[in-house]
Amino acid sequence: MTGTTGTAATSAPTGPARTAGRLGRIGVVTFPGSLDDRDARRAIRIAGGEPVALWHRDKDLHQVDAVVLPGGFSYGDYLRCGAIARFSPVMQTIVEQAKQGMPVLGICNGFQVLCESHLLPGALTRNDHLRFICRDQRLRVENNRTAWTTDYTEGQEITVPLKNGEGGYVADERTLDALEAEGRVVFRYTAGPGTPEEQANPNGSRRDIAGITNEAGNVVGLMPHPEHAVESLTGPTTDGLGFFTSALARLVA
Amino acid sequence: MARVVVDVMLKPEILDPQGQAVQRALPRLGFEGIADVRQGKRFELEVEGPVDAAALRRIHELAETFLANTVIEDFTVRVEEPAVSEEAPA
Amino acid sequence: MARVVVDVMLKPEILDPQGQAVQRALPRLGFEGIADVRQGKRFELEVEGPVDAAALRRIHELAETFLANTVIEDFTVRVEEPAVSEEAPA
Amino acid sequence: MTSQSLDTVEHAERTPGTELPWAELGLKEDEYARIREILGRRPTGAELAMYSVMWSEHCSYKSSKVHLRQFGEKAPTEGPGAEAMLVGIGEQAGVVDVGQGYAVTFKVESHNHPSYVEPYQGAATGIGGIVRDIIAMGARPVAVMDPLRFGAADHPDTRRVLPGVVAGIGGYGNCLGLPNIGGEVVFDACYQGNPLVNALCVGVMKHEDIHLAKAAGTGNKVVLYGARTGGDGIGGASILASETFDAAADGDSGTGRPSKRPAVQVGDPFQEKLLIECTLEAFHAGLVVGIQDLGAAGLSCATSELASNGSGGMRVELDDVPLRDSSLSPEEILMSESQERMCAVVEPGNVERFLEICEKWEVTATVVGEVTDGDRLEIFWHGEKIVDVDPRTVAHEGPVYERPYARPDWQDALQADDPGRLPRPADGKELRAAALALLSSPNQAGKSWITDQYDRYVLGETVLAQPEDSGMIRIDEESGLGVAVATDGNGRYAKLDPYEGARLALAEAYRNVAATGARPLAVTDCLNFGSPEDPAAMWQFAESCRGLADGCRELGTPVTGGNVSLYNQTGEAAIHPTPVVGVLGVIDDVTRRTPMAFADEGHLIYLLGETAEELGGSAWSQVAHDHLGGRPPRVDLERERLLGEILIAASRDGMADAAHDLSDGGLIQALAESCLKGGKGARIVVPDGTDPFVFLFSESQGRALVAIPRSEEVRFTDMCAARGMPAERIGVVDGEELDIQGQFTLPLTELREAHERTLPELFG
Ligand SMILES: Nc1ncnc2c1ncn2[C@@H]1O[C@H](COP(=O)(O)OP(=O)(O)O)[C@@H](O)[C@H]1O
Ligand SMILES: [Mg+2]
């Protein structure tokens, strides 16, 4: 573990994290079309935190310490993924709090919502092959200093499920250059052992970007699904657990 | 090079979940006074050579067999006039 | 009731996989002479009341904040003229 | 429609001579006469609309009913399957007890014709329809599966149909958040104009949550909720699926007959997701007396079935139905098949809370009627009565046909055309080529180009999904209780012998479930056949029903429900008879599941069961010779049951690390799949005195491969010996290639390339 940011514990416990005698509370937003909200709550529980269900129509975040925007199709997403969710009451508060440093993780649809809300730059477009794709995806951790990645090492490769139809990350060149320069590319698609390099990128994302962070490192969005890789029984690995233990460790510190 | 635009819209009697989703969201965004929204596809084709009746006929055929699904969609084909995109007052 | 049309297209510098898929299919369908295809969205809004400058301004704002994602898309707003859909010769 | 032209009940009484378009609506002359007799007058336009859709083949099962009865009559009366049955045939879907207070409901249904007309939407709304059946039982849907059949893989129309169907199933299922855990993809020219799109859904509930569709309690309100009613799919599924489908008759064929092409329905999966949440919340709040989904025949079906199953009558105000298109006539409203609608019966005191829940999920909900103490279904429009019927005559007392059937005269010749005469690979080199040709043929190739378009992870309970032998879902996180489901059907076998074909489908699905370690419990089926008006197709249907009913009794797995799809025929050419069977099994602890992958070097590979030369209908005969003839493999359900017990015990006692059943493609297919899944090779020895070709390519039933750690070998072989199950050690997991010793070797890279490249090349 090489967590180097000031706030992150250098030896984050992977067991239950406690602040002031309580478990770290992480909210999971449910939009009417959210699908992976249950899984995100389960992942938080398995990581030792207390999941708190948040409802899209409710501005109140119920004193959570961090928020996960889960996968799914928030409001059907026929227009563009996340386009309507951005205007929901709960997002108004989340945007405010995120700007003040609250850790926010957007997974898949959550990532799309974060981009639509301008908490993260760029946008997600139709996969270049125009199909929905569900597969186990290899990722390289490029930045382990964000609120959600301190339990990984830089350069570590992890495998978690990926499943989306609009996961192609795009931004203009200037933005992409800035993201690279500032070390804000958090995850990149990579080929697993035995897989040809040209099959690494599942959707035509620019510069193989799978996930990014904001300048402060508290807001992270990615297309793949760490919450589906927390139990060896139901996931390809348990590599996704580190997201949640990272955030919980920070809450303890 | 001339631009031909093919607009493809769901037939009126067919449910348009996309348009409906937009419409349902409008009040939440504070928009009133829009009675109906339909969402369709717009194709811009850059055609080499003259856009004569023969070319248009071929594009019409393309629209009918490929760009539109005529079981559920209608389409229109038109040559775009020079100054098309008149933006609304900002 | 007036119809306002909002066309949303990906910015030229953004890859358009749908348009490309159409273009790639053209030779297979026996179509030549189409240099480029872009695919976008077309919204038809049925507006209650007069479509004056104020109404257009609001629709422009709607397009900018909602119908289009201006990070990657451009849009145009126009009031549709009475006789719109001039079909090509069949 | 003005009130003068409104065809009220009163008007119908006054104008007995008015001609109605009963023939255009698909009714036969005697059926129309019966409607007049039942009513004692001519029907109104609205009544005619209701009877015509409800008495269509699709809704009334008029040709199939007499044969389907066997599933009840021959149902096993003892054993775990019989004991587990909570709700049987006749409801939206059957329900079985899986222990720990849980019940599971599952059902497979067809959406064949609509998917041919409009592949994306047809398939999407097929998923939508079966999911509503499951929610209507009070269950939370937890998984879907999709048995599919298409025309020849390289036919241009398959390029249109397949990508659309797959995208539609994915588009709808993924958006609903239901993992897709399995299915089938089969190509055969016989499905060219009649692709089969079957969809299965599994739901879970607690025993106390089981709900049935009935409208009891005078004064209770009928609430219609979900999407607004539009003009789409008027009489679509029901009428289209009830007559020979003639692609050439699309549009105006000049015959004066109305076009059989329906206005296609477009699905709105987001609306359906809201329906799921809102329905389950209303159930749990105890607000629902009865419930019914709106599928084929829309409101006609929902109101007449609800009323018919209840004790009283029903009064419906059609003006209160929320419309998407205000110009719809009352007949059209009654026949519309707009998707994503449900109908609930709610006590008056609970209506407000019910509507609040709908509001929470932003679902449109309206009271459209109430339960009355009479026994009539009365429907009003603009204050006038336009329907006044006994709902039972609409919903349950439709016509029943004893269609003539006869063994076709070509059947003997077909069975006599034994594949034994076909040239076979003579040496290792030819065997290798035959293996590669088989494994890369569209039917036997890997299906991941398709299945990667489906979300298999959502809900976080998927223990096994494609390409495993069956899908497996955990239903209790604490105890590890889970269910496994597999669907199978082999139209080639069924064409050779429809009785055995149905039993073979059952045997294979049963074996697939047992291979994963789950105990098979119950069956659902989708019977896809040609025209019932053709005595040959009707014979195939009758034989398959008899075979499936007999088989289910032998295996102790009752049929809990299913679906019949007839008229899968273009002109004279019918599809192969295609009974698709879904088997549901239970596993007490999903951590004990047995996957199919050879994952550990050094594990011993055992072949269970006996191999005979059985090549009739085989994949080899199709791929190598485009041949279909002879007899299908022999089925011995007692042996299947024994094999199942061995596989289940091996899983429970931790003896097997991998298991994979043998089916089409035989041993070579199973070996290749287990090697590729685990990324490990295998060294295989052809047993002495065995013909290597038969060993590798025969499709004898009742067989499976298992991989056993050396430490378990004795225990495992002792168990097999004690139970009389032939178990032969044929090799070991090892290396980077599939090595059939003395014959040929196939490096995994070459094998993978051959197996996985086919579908992307065809459709990518
Ligand atoms: N349309 C489909 N949707 C989902 N899974 C599928 C589909 N077609 C095939 N599969 C899966 O691929 C695997 C191999 O299929 P198949 O060869 O038919 O299995 P089997 O021979 O064991 O019945 C199975 O796990 C099956 O569930
Ligand atoms: Mg199998």
Find where tokens 């009283």 sit.
D312
- Rounded to a whole number of angstroms, the CA Rg of chain D reads 26
Average pLDDT over residues D361-375: 93
Is D454 marked as binding a ligand?
A: no
What is the C-alpha to C-alpha distance for residues D754 and D440, in angstroms, rounded to an integer?
5
The Cα–Cα gap between D436 and D368 comes to 62
Name the DSSP letter for residue B45. Answer: E
For D553-562, what is the mean pLDDT? 95
Q: What is the A77 CA–ligand 1 centroid distance (Å)? A: 30
Is residue D374 assigned to a domain?
Answer: yes
Tell me which residue range forms the domain holding B63: 2-80
Question: Residues C65, A74, B31, CA angle at the centre, nearest 5°?
Answer: 35
- Chain C within 8 Å of A178 (Cβ-Cβ)? no
Distance CA A183, CA A157 (A): 17
- Residue in chain B closest to D264 (alpha carbons) equals B72
Query: By C-alpha distance, which of C69, C59, C53, C77 is closest to C5?
Result: C77
D706-739 pLDDT, tens digit each: 999 999 999 999 999 999 999 999 999 999 999 9
The pLDDT score that the predictor gives to residue C23 is 92
**pLDDT tens digit sequence for A57-109:** 999 999 999 999 999 999 999 999 999 999 999 999 999 999 999 999 999 99
Contacts of A72 in chain D (CB under 8 A): 177
How far CA A241 is from CA of A41, A47, A248, in Å, comes to 12, 6, 11
Tell me: pLDDT of D414 over 90: yes
CB contact under 8 A, C60 and B88: yes
Region of D340 on the Ramachandran plot (φ > 0 left; ψ -120 to 50 alpha; else beta): left
Whether residue D84 lies inside any domain: the answer is yes
Judge whether residue A8 has pLDDT over 50.
no
User: Is residue C87, in this structure, part of any structural domain at all?
Assistant: no
- Selecting from D361, D452, D679 the residue whose C-beta is nearest the C-beta of A134 gives D452
- The CA-based angle D289-D295-D297, given to 5 degrees, is 105
- pLDDT of D211 reads 72
- CATH code of B22's domain: 3.30.1280.10
CA–CA separation, D452 and B86 (whole Å)? 43
Q: Which residue of A has its CA nearest to D477?
A: A42
Q: Is D180 in the pocket of ligand 1 (CB under 6 A)?
A: yes
Rounded to the nearest angstrom, the distance between the alpha carbon of D517 and the centre of ligand 1 is: 17
Counting ligands in written order, the one closest to the CA of D439 is: 1
Across D446-471, average pLDDT: 97
* Exposed / middle / buried, residue A223 (Cβ in 10 Å: 0-12, 13-18, 19+): buried
Sheet of D462-464: strand order equals D462-464, D471-474, D482-488, D578-587, D519-528, D559-565
Examine residue D114 and say whether the peptide bond preceding it is cis (omega within 30 degrees of 0). Answer: no
- Averaged pLDDT for residues D447-461: 97
> Is the pLDDT reported for residue D318 higher than 70?
yes
Judge whether D121 is closer than 8 Å to chain B, CB to CB.
yes
Q: What positions of D carry a catalytic annotation? A: 58, 111
* CB pair distance less than 8 Å for C43 and B19: yes
For the beta carbon of residue D429, count every other beta carbon within 10 angstroms: 11
pLDDT band for position D235 (cuts 50, 70, 90): low
- Judged by average pLDDT, the poorest of C31-40, D468-477, D504-513 is C31-40
Helix (H, G, I), strand (E, B) or coil at D454: coil
Does B89 map to a domain?
no
Residues from chain D contacting residue B68 (CB–CB below 8 Å): none
> At D305, which amino acid appears?
E
What's the rounded Cα separation, in Å, for the pair D216 and D220? 7
Query: Per-residue pLDDT for A9 more than 60?
Result: no
Residue D276 pLDDT exceeds 50: yes
Between D521 and D264, name the one with better pLDDT.
D521
Helices (H) and strands (E) in chain D, counts: 28, 28
Look at D497 and D375; give whichever has higher pLDDT.
Answer: D497
Mean of the pLDDT values across residues D532-551?
97
Question: From CA D664, how far away is CA D651, in angstroms rounded?
Answer: 24
Using alpha carbons only, give the angle D745, D751, D753 rounded to the nearest 5 degrees. Answer: 145
CB neighbours of residue D286 within 10 Å: 10
Tokens representing D32? 């129309």
Taking CB atoms and an 8 Å limit, are D266 and B71 in contact across chains? Answer: no
Cα separation values, D646 from A187, D109, D261, D469, D609, Å: 46, 32, 51, 16, 11
> What is the number of the ligand 1 atom nearest to the C-alpha of D180?
4
HSE (CB half, 13 Å, CA atoms) of A28?
Answer: 24
> Cα distance from D380 to chain B (closest Cα, Å)?
24
A-chain residues within 8 Å CB-CB of B28? 84, 87-88
Checking phi first, is residue D647 left (phi over 0); if not, alpha (psi -120 to 50) or beta? alpha
Q: For residue range B5-24, list pLDDT tens digits in order.
A: 999 999 988 889 999 999 99
> Of all residues in chain D, what percent carry a pLDDT higher than 70?
95
Instruction: Tell me whether strands C34-47 and B34-47 are parallel, antiparallel or unpaired.
Output: antiparallel
Query: Which residues are CB-neighbours of D673 under 8 A, at least 6 positions away?
Result: D467, D596, D660
Candidates D270, D458, D591; nearest CB to A33 = D270
Residue C89 included in any domain:
no
For B47-87, how does the pLDDT look when each residue is reduced to its tens digit (9 = 90+)? 988 888 988 999 999 999 899 999 899 999 999 865 444 44
Is B2 an 8 Å CB contact of chain C?
A: no
Q: Decide: D455 in ligand 1 pocket, CB within 6 A.
A: no
Per-residue model confidence (pLDDT) at position D261? 40
Tokens representing residue D381 in the block: 């429009």
Structural domains for chain A: 16-252 (3.40.50.880)
Residue A223 Cα to ligand 1 midpoint, Å, equals: 27
Q: What is the mean pLDDT of residues D540-558?
A: 97
Which two structure tokens, joined as six digits, stand for D600? 């550990």
D97 lines ligand 1 (CB under 6 A): no
pLDDT at D200 over 70: yes
Q: Tokens in use for D639? A: 């042996």
pLDDT at D245: 43
Q: Rounded to a whole number, what is the distance in Å from the CA of B13 to chain C's nearest CA?
A: 15
For residue A98, give the amino acid letter.
A
Cα dihedral D580, D585, D591, D596, rounded to 10, equals -30
Contact, A116 vs A82, CB < 8 A?
yes
- The answer to whether D325 touches D230, Cβ cutoff 8 Å, is yes
* Separation of alpha carbons D470 and D137, rounded Å: 24
Mean pLDDT, chain D, rounded, equals 92
* Mean pLDDT confidence for D13-29: 90
- Is the CB of D512 inside a 6 Å radius of any atom of ligand 1? yes
Q: Does B31 touch chain C (CB under 8 A)?
A: yes
Confidence of residue D564 (pLDDT cuts 50, 70, 90): very high
D148: closest CA among D411, D658, D676, D528?
A: D528
Question: How far, in Å, CA of D384 to CA of D386, rounded?
Answer: 6
Output the pLDDT for position D244.
53
Q: How many CB atoms lie within 10 A of CB C33?
A: 12
What gap in Å lies between CA C23 and CA C30, rounded to an integer?
A: 11
Query: CA dihedral defined by D18, D19, D22, D28, rounded to 10 degrees?
Result: 110
Structure tokens at D65: 């009913």
Does residue C90 have a pLDDT over 80?
no
Q: Do D231 and B13 touch (CB under 8 A)?
A: yes
- Residues from chain D that touch A32, judged by Cβ atoms under 8 A, are 270, 273-274, 277, 361-362
Strands A157-164, A133-141: parallel, antiparallel or unpaired by DSSP?
A: antiparallel
Residue with token string 């045997």: D507
Nearest CA in chain B to C53: B89
Q: How many domains does chain D have?
A: 1
How long, in residues, is chain C?
Answer: 90
- The response to whether residue D669 sits with its C-beta less than 6 Å from ligand 1 reads no
pLDDT tens track for A165-218: 999 999 999 999 999 999 999 999 999 887 888 899 999 999 999 999 999 999
Are C17 and A204 within 8 A, CB to CB? Answer: yes
User: What's D355's domain CATH number?
Assistant: 3.90.650.10
Q: Is B41 in CB contact (< 8 Å) with chain D? A: no
Residue B64, min C-alpha distance to chain C (Å): 10
Which helix H or strand E contains D693, and what residues bound it?
helix D692-697
Closest by CA to D280, choosing from D269, D291, D270, is D291
Domains: count for chain B: 1
Distance (Å, whole) CA D218 – CA D376: 12
Residue D138: count of CB within 10 angstroms of its CB:
24
Confidence of residue D240 (pLDDT cuts 50, 70, 90): low
Contact D362 A32 (CB under 8 A): yes
- Chain B / chain D CB contacts < 8 angstroms: 38
Asked whether residue D6 carries a pLDDT value surpassing 50, the answer given is yes
CA–chain centroid gap for D293, Å, is 18
Structure tokens at D110: 């067809």
Closest CA to D225 of D106, D338, D349, D384: D338
Q: Give residue-wise pLDDT tens across range C29-79.
A: 888 889 999 999 999 999 998 889 999 999 999 999 999 999 999 999 999
Query: What residues pair up with D89 in beta bridges, in sequence order?
Result: D91
What ipTM was estimated for this complex?
A: 0.91
Which of chain A's residues have a Cβ under 8 Å away from the Cβ of B18?
Answer: 78-79
Ligand 1 pocket residue status of D663, Cβ below 6 Å: yes
What residue's CA is closest to ligand 1, atom 19?
D469
Assess if residue B6 is contained within a domain: yes
* D118–B13 CB contact, under 8 Å: no
Q: Residue for token digits 């024994």?
A: D642
Q: What Cα–Cα distance (Å) separates residue A117 from each residue in A172, A205, B29, D70, D215?
A: 17, 20, 14, 60, 47
Could you tell me which chains touch chain B, where touching means 3 or more CB pairs under 8 A? A, C, D
User: Which pLDDT value is given to residue D95?
Assistant: 92
Arithmetic mean of pLDDT, D326-343: 90
Q: What percent of chain D has pLDDT over 90?
A: 81
C and D make contact (3+ CB pairs below 8 Å): no
Contact partners, residue D631, CB within 8 Å, separation at least 6: D415, D418, D496, D497, D500, D616
Is D22 a member of any domain? no
Q: Are A167 and A122 in contact (CB under 8 A)?
A: no
Q: Tell me, in angstroms, the distance from the centre of ligand 1 to residue A194's CA.
A: 25
Gap between the Cα atoms of B65 and A130, Å rounded = 20
The candidate with the shortest Cα–Cα distance to D166, out of C70, A133, A3, is A133
Summarised one tens digit per residue, pLDDT across range D74-99 is 999 888 888 898 887 767 778 999 99
Q: In whole angstroms, what is the distance from residue D457 CA to residue D434 CA?
A: 36
- The answer, yes or no, to whether residue A2 has pLDDT greater than 70, is no
Instruction: Decide if B17 and D362 are in contact by the 8 Å CB cutoff.
Output: no
Which residues share a beta bridge with D197?
D148
Average pLDDT of chain B, as a whole number: 87
In this prediction, residue C86 carries a pLDDT of 44
Q: Note down the domain range covering D177.
A: 59-395
pLDDT value, residue D241? 58
pLDDT at D448 exceeding the cut of 50: yes
Residue D324: C-alpha distances to residues A85, C49, D52 (Å): 25, 22, 24
Answer for the pair D692, D431: CB distance below 8 angstroms, yes or no: yes
